[in-house]
Every structure is written in C-alpha cells, then in structure tokens.
Amino acid sequence: MGSYNYYRMFGCFNRKFKISETEPPPDVMSAFHKYAGGGTHMTADQFARFLVEYQGEEGCTLADAERLMHIVIQRRHHLTKYTRRGLDLEDFFYFLFQDDLNGPIKIQVHHDMTAPLQHYFIYTGHNSYLTGNQLSSDCSEIPIIKALERGVRGIELDLWPNSAKDNVHVLHGRTLTTPVPLIKCLKSIREHAFVKSPYPVIITLEDHLTPDLQAKVAEMVIQIFGEMLYYPESGCLEEFPSPEALKHRIILSTKPPKEYLEIKNQKEGTSSPAEKDSSEDDFFMKDTLEGDPKYDSDPDDEDGDIQNQKSSQLAAPEYKRLIAIHAGKAKQGLRHALVTGLDKVKRLSLTEQDLERAASLYGTDVVRFTQKNILRVFPKGTRVTSSNFHPLVGWTHGAQMLAFNMQGYGKSLWLMHGLFGSNGGCGYVKKPDFLMKRGPRNELFDPKVKLPVKKTLKVSVYLGDGWRLDFSHTHFDSYSPPDFYTKVQMVGVPADEAKKKTRIIEDDWGPIWDEDFTFPLTVPELALLRIEIREHDMSEKDDFGGQTCLPVSELRPGIRAVPIYDKKGEKLRSVRLLMRFQFI
C-alpha cells in the first residue's frame, strides 16, 4: 500500500499547490502490522484488541470495534453495507485521524455529580452581557446565549434602574455601555440554559436597585423561571446541594439586602446611614489606585447603591427569599473572611489581585475556605479590553468560580476552554480530592510546596493537516506554502510548568514533525497541555495557525486526532494534529 492520500481522505477540493502524499508515521505502521498479525487487513477482533491494549479503551467490545469499522468504511468507500475483510493501512490511518471517532479526551459526563457544589470548578462568566470592551460596548442577550451554548454555568448580570426609575436595565455601571432590558436577558437564559448541559445555571447579580425594583425583579424571575428557580424554603442553606440534585434549575446568588439597620432606624425614628460598600463597579473605577490604604479593601461585587440611599424602606422580602447562594464581603479583612464564620455556607468574591495576595500570604486558608464555601474571582478593573487573568492560581487554591470575559480571547481564556472541555463539557468539573480533603497528617494542600513527581506524560507530535482546506492559499505566505511549527506547553502548579516546541517544517501544508517531549508532573490532576501551531515568518511576527488546550487528567492514551481551534475558541473545520499520549 505504502502511502496515505490526502485527496482520498477529505474528498474533492481545489488544489492551489501541489499536494504530496503523506506516509503514516512509523508508530502508526508499527501498530498496524503488530495488530494485523503481519497481514494487509486488520479484522474486527484485531481492531478491538488494538483499541483496548494500545489506546487504553477499557471496556471496548467487539461490537464497538465493528461499529467504528463500519463508519470508516462508509466514509472512505461510500459502502452502505460492511462487506470488507477489515481495515487496510489507509483505513486504519484514516480512523486515527478522525477527531470525532478518536479524539484526545472523553466526551461524556463521567465525574461524580452528587457532591456539594463547592466540590466543583464551575464555568463562570464575567459581565456576561457585554459584546466587547468593558467601557463602551453594547449590552445584549446575545453573549449570554453564546456563553450558555458553550456550557458556561455562571452568568453575571449588573442590575441598574432605567432612566425613569420604573424598570430594570442590565449594563456595566458608570461606563458608556448601552443597556439591555433585564427581562430580555432572563428570557434568553430560560430558553438556552440547558441546551448544552443539564446542570444548574447560577446567576450572580450585582444589584444597584431600590427595594421596589428588587420586588419587581423577584416578580420577574418567578414569572419567567417558574419551577426552574431553586431557592431553599428555610431561607438559608446549611450545605450546598449537588449539581445532580439541581439539574435543570436556575439559582440566584447575590448579597442579601440589608434589613436590620433599616428596621432599627425606623423604630428609632431615624433614617438609615449613608453607608457605602465597595462594589465591583466601584473597584472598576478605582483600580488604578490599588495600594492606597484608602482604597485597598476587599471588594465584594454584589453590594449595591441601595446602601447609599437614606431610605427607611424595608428591603423587598420576596427578592431576599429567592437568593439561594448568599454572597459575603470581607468587611474585617481578607484573612478574617477566610477563617471565620464557616458554620454557614456562602460565596465570597475577590478581585484577581486579592486572590494573588491571599495565595501568597495564606494559601492554605484559601484552600480550607473553598472546601466548605464558594470563592468567585473577577478580573481587575483595568482590563478594559475584556482580557483575563491567569486561572491557575485560582484553580490550585480551589476557587470554584473564576469569572472570565468570554467575549475576548487569549491564552488565559484558552486555558479556561481547555479545563471545561473536561467532563463532557457540562460546565462542572470535579475538583481533585486533595483540594477537598486533608492529607494523612491532617495537612491542607499547599500549591507552593514542591511534591515528588507523580507521573510523567510523554507527548509525540507526529503531523498536522487541514490548513489548506480552512485557509486561503495565500493566508500565511503569498508565494509559498507555510512553515509550521508546534509549541507544546505544560501549565499547572509552578513545579510542572514547561515549554517545548518542534522544529520548523518549511514549505509544507501538511507538516510532519515526528518529535517526542516528556513532562514530569507533580500534580497531574491540575495540569493542562497547551498546544499552539505557529507559522514562522522571518520578517514579521509569526502567524497564528491554531491552538487547543487539553486537561491532562482527561487525556486518553494512544494515538489521537487532536482538533484545533481558532483564537476565539471556535473549532477549525479541518485542521487537526496526529499525536500520541503515554503515561510512563
């Protein structure tokens, strides 16, 4: 047989350059000959053995192997009935390069979903209604819909009175962002909440409303969500329910309105004090003054302007009753908030700088806090272009809700996409046990402590193809085929971080690298393998050729077809890499 023909693999297309035939890598040929017993075809029995032994697919049956063979024969030879003796080398190579049949991670939900909510990383958005930058972009329900369709489970809405003070708008306060009516956002959430995942959607509210508008919001959410809305009858949760118990439910989370002072002041015949809590929007405005003691507070993102008003009205009881996850504020300092009042479950919100500081000074207190409570981290206010912070500090300390600007792109967001590709993309990823339980000597996990190597991942980068189908023939270079190389990076605890790259393959739309890299891992449970293809350019910055990010804990061993994504995280139709993953 000898060669694998790209034209036969992908069907007809216009050839802009001469396309060379690509030989299967030596590892592919070796595996085929071994499991085909030296023959020219691999039978269903032999193929099943390959899948179990070489690909590590425990539980794969003869029927599974026959089903896959049937799909391959149908796609390659357009035969409606499986009549061949088995797979030849070209068929086998074709199968290995199909990411829907032979992808690098499991596509089903497979984590235990019956633990309390704080046991999971939760796919969370920040200012989920913004279409672009944080200062002047439009507010819309469209980014909310897109986020939900991607599997995001945490949606943030900033609530403000409209100009007539008789209805509720969603917008980024004190900026030039144009508003969208709250009712439109809520209806979009109802329609799209469970398109991608059945597990609960948590709506975090940044509330700047008067009590009468809070009552209006309560009426709105009950009318729109009905029985989908979850809230505890007792008014306060002693323990968070599980994602399994909350399937197809909507949960509200915000800081409950303050009633005590207002009631007390009414009795005494005085108005309530004009106290002002620090909200996320306030932090947005003062972020550049960080370090000034006047501003160096621990902001919570849900305190509203309601505290500003010298009003003796009671907070809307209906609204308060619907808040299932109460948000707290680090009023007496960050450490105090992390180590006290752990008898009742709550959610605490911190800026990325606060998290960095807490992780540096008292990381194990953060880990302890997240074993019982939910920690949400949001971007600093100077990220006006909707960029994001590095998520690993949050994840290694157990922070469940890292609120990201989903409308942007960049390496941090690619890591977020990568982690939440885990567990079938359902938006909830079970945290490693060591983040939820103490060690054998009653110790808490400390990301700064270097541990012994637990396992080593060997990554083989064989080849890539598909660019000629997804890009114009002059996209990378006007006069010649592209010069591709692949960057392979390990992201995780500090001891596991590493960067490698392949050599540059010049003038080839289908580069063959055939290079191996090894990554010793001390905490493989929190490691992510980031892959980026670049096109070498001698005169300018290297061009972007695609990227992906794979959670190491989810990697399926063996030779795999790795799908590749664009800068915004959208899957490229044809581009993929052929790689092998081995734990040695």
Question: Angle at Cα 220 formed by Cα 219 and Cα 226, nearest 5°?
Answer: 85
The answer to whether the beta carbons of residues 164 and 214 sit under 8 Å apart is: no
Strand 154-161 and strand 168-170: pairing? antiparallel
Each domain of the chain, given as residue ranges in start order, spans 1-96, 119-433, 451-584
Tokens of 559: 């030779």
pLDDT recorded at residue 209: 95
Q: 49: helix, coil or strand?
A: helix
CATH hierarchy code of domain 451-584: 2.60.40.150
**Alpha-carbon distance values, 448 to 490, 492, 495, 521, 523 (Å):** 17, 12, 9, 14, 12
The continuous run of DSSP H or E covering 411 comes out as helix 411-419
Write the pLDDT tens digit of every residue in 168-202. 999 999 899 999 999 999 999 999 999 999 999 99
326 annotated active-site: no
Catalytic residue (one of 169, 172, 208, 326): 172
**pLDDT at position 153, please?**
98
User: What kind of architecture, by CATH, is found in domain 1-96?
Assistant: Orthogonal Bundle (1.10)
Strands 512-521 and 455-465: antiparallel
Count Cα neighbours of 571 within 13 Å in the Cβ-side half-sphere: 11
d(CA 256, CA 251): 14
Backbone angles phi, psi at 235, to 5 degrees: 95, -15
Please say whether the dihedral angle defined by the alpha carbons of residues 404, 406, 407 and 411, taken in this order, is positive or negative: positive
- Pair 4, 92: CB distance under 8 Å: no
Residue appearing with tokens 């692949």: 486
Task: Look up tokens 């402590």; give the residue.
Answer: 449
172 is catalytic: yes
Q: Please state the φ and ψ torsions of residue 515, each to the nearest 5 degrees.
A: -125, 150
Sheet bearing 558-565, strands edge to edge:
498-501, 484-491, 528-535, 543-551, 558-565, 571-583, 455-465, 512-521
194-to-11, 142, 189, 247, 416 alpha-carbon distances in Å: 36, 16, 9, 9, 20
In the chain, which residues have pLDDT < 50? 1-20, 260-278, 281-300, 302-312
Hey, which residues does 549 pair with through a beta bridge?
530
Report yes or no: 330 and 336 within 8 Å, Cβ to Cβ. Answer: yes
Q: What is the pTM of this model?
A: 0.89
- Beta strands 401-404; 374-378: pairing state: parallel
Bridge partners for 543 per DSSP: 535
- Residue 356: φ, ψ to 5°: -60, -45
Candidates 183, 102, 192, 158; CA nearest to 427 is 192
DSSP designation for 255: P
Only one residue has tokens 């700047």, namely 208
On whether the CB atoms of residues 569 and 413 are closer than 8 A, the answer is yes
Instruction: State the catalytic residue, choosing from 111, 119, 126, 326.
Output: 126
Question: Could you give the CA distance from residue 286 to residue 290 in angstroms, rounded to a whole number?
Answer: 7
Q: Which CATH architecture does the domain made up of 119-433 adopt? A: Alpha-Beta Barrel (3.20)
**pLDDT reported for residue 236:** 76
Report the distance separating Cα 454 and Cα 456, nearest Å.
7
Q: What's the CA gap between 572 and 298, in Å, rounded?
A: 42
Burial label for 343, CB within 10 Å (0-12, 13-18, 19+), is exposed
> E strands within 162-302?
168-170, 180-181, 201-207, 229-230, 250-254
Residues 380, 352: contact at Cβ < 8 Å?
A: yes
Nearby residues of 5 by Cβ (< 8 Å), 6 or more positions away:
21, 90
CB 1 within 8 A of CB 90: yes
Helix (H) or strand (E) holding 329: none
CA distance 122 to 403: 9
